[in-house]
């Protein structure tokens, strides 16, 4: 609830502790369109995904129509997102 981490896997080997994290249902992993990320990670290493929440699905359940990361950042954090 207090920390967030971003892992840039493109440039580093996939460590076993990170695989264990991806399989841990008690650690929440979020993103927009996260199913594609899970699929891409599955091409790198075999794991059983657990604890993943797609933010786009969650905001749509609450009646919001624009579920882009840029718009969610502006709405909830009051910040501009630069990628």
DSSP letter for 53, please: E
- 29 vs 21: CA distance, rounded Å: 9
Q: Give the tens place of pLDDT for each residue, 16-61.
A: 898 999 999 999 998 888 999 899 889 888 999 999 999 889 888 9
In the prediction, which pLDDT does 77 show? 87
76 within 8 A of 41, measured Cβ to Cβ:
no
Q: How confident is the model at residue 9 (pLDDT cuts 50, 70, 90)?
A: confident
């Amino acid at each position: 609830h207090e920390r967030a981490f971003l892992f840039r896997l493109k440039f580093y080997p996939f460590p076993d502790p990170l695989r264990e994290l991806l399989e841990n249902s008690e650690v929440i992993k979020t993103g927009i369109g996260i199913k594609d990320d899970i699929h891409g990670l599955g091409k790198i290493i075999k794991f059983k995904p657990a604890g993943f929440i797609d933010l786009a699905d969650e905001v749509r359940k609450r009646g919001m129509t624009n579920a882009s990361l840029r718009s969610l950042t502006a709405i909830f954090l009051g910040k501009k997102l630069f990628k």
